[in-house]
Amino acid sequence: AETMLGKPDTAFQYYKNILPMARNDKAEILKTEPYVFCQTVSTNDSITPGEGANSWLTGTAAWMYVTATQYILGIKPTLSGLKIDPAVPTSWNGFKATRKFRNCEYEISVKRTGRYRLLLDGKEIEGNIVPPVKSGKAKVEVEIV
């Protein structure tokens, strides 16, 4: 939601706070694997406050992957093509990613330049949707504010 509201720094902070590693300093209390999401963490009113339960039985990891790739990195498949709409933290100068989509491997490079621009194989595209490429490889360069 924060990425959609244009708050990339807040979105990334929330993302990091939800990761299992955010509780590694309390691993002895949590009693679940420090790299796995668990379904519940007991509240302070519980007999076992801070203890996690039912690790490996949640779909959270899949949703966190979607959050990272489609909303923070902003590489989202759509019917029209591959939408590129990064909401990365303002401290990031950019990133590189490879995405397979409809028989094509897209090499995506995002750079913070102070303006928005999208290029597909060196040709500028209007908007933020890369039209499908028939097959093979495609180079996508994105400049962001």
The pLDDT assigned to 55 comes to 84
Contacts for 46 with CB less than 8 Å, ≥ 6 apart: none
The pLDDT assigned to 99 comes to 97
Q: Quick one: tokens of 66?
A: 């979607």
The pLDDT assigned to 4 comes to 95
DSSP class per residue in the chain:
-TTTTT-HHHHHHHHHHHSGGGGGGGHHHH-S-TTS-EEEE--TTSSSTT-EEEET--SHHHHHHHIIIIIIS-EEE-SSSEEE-----TT--EEEEEEEETTEEEEEEEEE-SS-EEEETTEEESSSEEPPPSSEEEEEEEEE-
The pLDDT assigned to 32 comes to 82
Q: What is the pLDDT along the chain (145 residues), one digit of tens a residue?
A: 999 999 999 999 999 998 888 877 777 787 888 888 888 888 889 998 888 888 888 888 899 999 999 999 999 999 999 999 999 999 999 999 999 999 999 999 999 999 999 999 999 999 999 999 988 999 999 999 9
Largest Cα separation within the chain, whole Å, is 62
